[in-house]
Amino acid sequence: MRSEISRDEVRSAIEDKLCAHFGITSEKATDDQVFQAGAMVIREIMSRLMAAEAPRHDRREVHYMSMEFLMGRSLMKNAFNLGISDALTGALEDMGRNASDIFEAENDAGLGNGGLGRLAACYMDSMASLGIPATGYSICYELGIFRQKFQDGRQTELADDWRKSSESWLIPRNEDAVEIRFGGQITPRWDYFGRYHAEHTGYTTVTAVPRDMLIAGFGGKTVNTLRLWDARSTSALDMYLFSEGEYVKSMEQRTMSEVITKVLYPADDHIEGKTLRLKQQYFFVSATVQTIVKKHIAEYGDISSFAEHHVIQINDTHPTLVIPELMRIFMDEHGLGWDEAWSVVTGAVAYTNHTVMSEALEKWPQELVQQLLPRVWEILCEINRRWCDYLVDCFGNTEKVGRNLIIRGGQVHMANLCLAACYKVNGVSGLHGEILKNDLFRDINELRPERFTYVTNGIDHRRWLSQINPRLHSLTAELLGSEDFLTRPEELIKLADFSEESDVQKVVLAIKQLNKEDFADFAMKNDGFMLNTDAIVDVQVKRLHEYKRQLLCAMLITRLQMFIHCYPNAEFKPRTFVFGAKAAAGYRTAKRIIELICSLAKDVNNDPLCKGKLQVYFLENYRVSAAEALMPAAQISQQISTAGKEASGTGNMKLMLNGAVTIGTLDGANVEMYERLGDRNMFLFGLRAEEVIALKQNGYDPLAMSRSDPELTEVLNRFSAGFSDGKSYSDLVSDLLYKGDPYMLIADYRDYVLTHDRLYSVISDDAELARLSLVNTAQSGIFAADRAVREYADNIWKIKP
């Protein structure tokens, strides 16, 4: 398929779609219409490939469940994987179009908040590319992650109607719609054989309608499906109320049903928000499980063989209700006894943990679960009873039993449910895996060590190098003599052999400069920001959270501005700090940190002494397409989370792949990056995870530590006094000094700024900067999603790619 389609054929197909679907010629079509037509052509190619695939019954099928799939844009990605990106670009140019304008017409599919959703998207690509039969499942949110807008330096959240431009990708499968039940009562009934039957009455129903997005693997040999569930009311309209003039009330049932798939992660700081989130999770889980089981029965007939043919990988705890829902269906609908059903479930479900913070582990109010999901609640109670008995047998009546119960303290603890039921529990980096075994889940690891493992996260290297950084891709192919690295990312290591060659170094620097100029164009178009392309692009882009320590980077920038004022004639390598981050709508402290950085940026960028030396750019509405513009231009990667808090990270890998030099802590996947890069090629600072614990145990006093550092005191005083806009951030300073500084910004400040100085001293030599850049790209192959998916297939799913 990759070599069979010419640009003329693509052009003809697009023009045909424009005529058939829009009743318009290519000359009169808008860019959006041309995009839609192009998407239809690509989707049709994928549909034909999928229809031509032979049935795959010899291996387990993977069902990857995630509340997030941050897919980004699909037109160029699918064309690239099908091998027709040149044909598509050429066809658009032959039509008199600027291909980049057509690609820009596609909105990001913002079905995610950050790394969790982007990881899921990368894994879907790799599973298809490796020929693994897999289906992804999530919710077809009407509005994705919010569109971020800065007003007076503050984040505001606007609705993001991503589906407007994605209809061409989504295939409605009305024939696969299923019914989801909420509320009601369970009436017990016993048959003549003494078997329990749960009669569910008084419930309300919502219809789950699947909309499928096709995922083409690289080479076009395998096409998998991402199934997104859309909520529909079982009643479109109450005709009686409508006829009585109660127009709004007549739509109430429909509105309450469809709100389930309205937005990603509704605020849950009130009971209505918690109820909606729980409804979302059960809706998504029940629809998925019903579909998988129905398909299994149609293909194999015997429900007891379910685990032999299917593995359900739950990406974080959001889909954990899959466990009791499978039990419900196996027992209530297929007649299995408890022990047989439990054996099947525990042989089919595996769990990926994504956090090391116990407070971030998901839990639900007991009363809410009981009211909303009465049959699931009964099953959870029985799972908890049996789990409790098992724990008491193992630990006796000790505190180890209480802290590992599924239901305790009036809450349902989802991670503990995973520990009770999942046959594998994996972390997402080596350090994270050790923390799970030795700290977070240490009690259960003591009982079941064989169930715990880790798979370090990976990224789609084809997208994050070859597709978004074609100049570096071309150089890589030239140096390595082929494009084999597209399917064998470990080949990238051979680039290290060229890192000392001056001619190659010059090309690396030239590529980076051109990429910076491209990013400067993006910054001007996106935010009206004039980027200094002669400056080092120093990047911190990730979800805004206190443990990720964007505030620590702001402290560094404030120090640099103070230095420029004190020593205006001193040598200073120009640098532009680029931030990209969204804060959860209800996360007050995170939003205050954004406001501080925006105040700092305004102050620095209008400071005449900083002109040409120091810039701060907060990229508004950071998203996948923005990352694709930024990553090729990045030169420094800030990976500065508190050691022991970041499970893995994937932005660090994307930046490394594109040749950025990392300054960071030994946290998450940074540990494995450091094992490959060493001190010469990576700039480490800060406390190690065990040192953080020890310092806190020994009585960490951030106020006393800050007072011993006059420069740090001055930085914090600057925050409190405010910048040129007059806003004071004394609340953030007080949190650091008087509330224990839980993320150790004060403790790590001095080492951080000195390491940053050392880094800039080293890269003042252009040849060394180029060498560092190429070495980072060379060592990044191990972080490809293809490697990660192979590890899942070998060690967890037991599937041979």
Angle, CA 589 vertex, CA 157 and CA 319 arms, to 5°: 65
One DSSP character per residue, 432-451 reads: HHHHIIIIITHHHHHH-GGG
Strands of 75-158 (E only): list them: 109-111, 134-139, 147-151, 154-158
SS (H, E, C) 158-177: ECCCHHHHCCCCEEECHHHC
**Of the listed 309, 512, 545, 548, which one is catalytic?**
548
**Helix, coil or strand: residue 571:** coil
**Helix, coil or strand: residue 153:** coil
**Of the listed 437, 461, 543, 756, which one is catalytic?**
543
Element (H, E) at 732: helix 730-738
Tokens of 618: 């907060």
Q: Is 316 left (phi over 0), alpha (psi -120 to 50) or beta?
A: left
Is 543 considered catalytic here? yes
**Of the listed 542, 613, 645, 790, which one is catalytic?**
542
CA distance 94 to 188: 69
**Of the listed 654, 718, 727, 756, which one is catalytic?**
654
Sign of CA dihedral 30, 33, 37, 43: positive
Backbone angles phi, psi at 223, to 5 degrees: -125, 120
CA distance 715 to 551: 12
Q: With CA atoms as reference, report the closest residue to 22 among 167, 140, 163, 160.
A: 167
**Of the listed 354, 473, 591, 623, which one is catalytic?**
354
Residues 6+ apart with CB under 8 A from 696: none
Is 650 considered catalytic here? yes
| Residue 563 burial class via C-beta count within 10 angstroms: exposed 0-12, middle 13-18, buried 19 and up | middle
Q: With CA atoms as reference, report the closest residue to 297 among 351, 346, 336.
A: 336
When computed from its CA atoms, the radius of gyration of the chain, rounded to whole angstroms, is 27
Is 354 considered catalytic here? yes
CA distance 750 to 63: 47
The single residue listed with the structure tokens 């959870």 is 380
Is 17 considered catalytic here? no
In the chain, what is the greatest distance between 2 CA atoms, to the nearest angstrom? 93
| Residue 722 burial class via C-beta count within 10 angstroms: exposed 0-12, middle 13-18, buried 19 and up | middle
Angle, CA 360 vertex, CA 401 and CA 705 arms, to 5°: 105
Is 548 considered catalytic here? yes
CA distance 533 to 409: 56
Question: Is the separation of the CB atoms in 109 and 103 below 8 Å?
Answer: no
Output DSSP code: residue 363: E
**Cross-strand partners of 537:** 576
Backbone angles phi, psi at 205, to 5 degrees: -125, 150
Q: With CA atoms as reference, report the closest residue to 456 among 68, 114, 119.
A: 119
Q: With CA atoms as reference, report the closest residue to 659 among 767, 573, 762, 770.
A: 770
The count of other CB atoms within 10 Å of the CB of residue 80 is 19
Is 274 considered catalytic here? no
- Buried b or exposed e, range 380-413, using 16+ CB within 10 angstroms: bbebbeebbeebeebbeeeebbeebbbbbeebbb
Distance of CA 430 to the CA centre of its chain: 19
**Of the listed 476, 576, 650, 755, which one is catalytic?**
650
**How many CA atoms are closer than 13 Å to the CA of 763, on its beta-carbon side?**
27
Could you list the active site residues?
Answer: 354, 542-543, 548, 650, 654
